[in-house]
Amino acid sequence: MDIFYPFELLANYIAFDFFLLEDGSSLAHSVKFFFYDSFKIITLILIITHFMSLLRYYLPIEKLREFLTKHKFYGLDYFLATIF
Q: What is the pLDDT of residues 10-68, one digit of tens each?
A: 999 999 999 999 999 999 999 999 999 999 999 999 999 999 899 888 888 888 788 87
Helix (H, G, I), strand (E, B) or coil at 16: helix
pTM, entire model:
0.70
- Measured at the alpha carbon of residue 26, what is the angle toward residues 22 and 30, in degrees to the nearest 5? 100
Q: Tell me, what's the pLDDT at 84?
A: 65
Indicate if the pLDDT at residue 70 is higher than 90. Answer: no
Q: Tell me, what's the pLDDT at 39?
A: 97
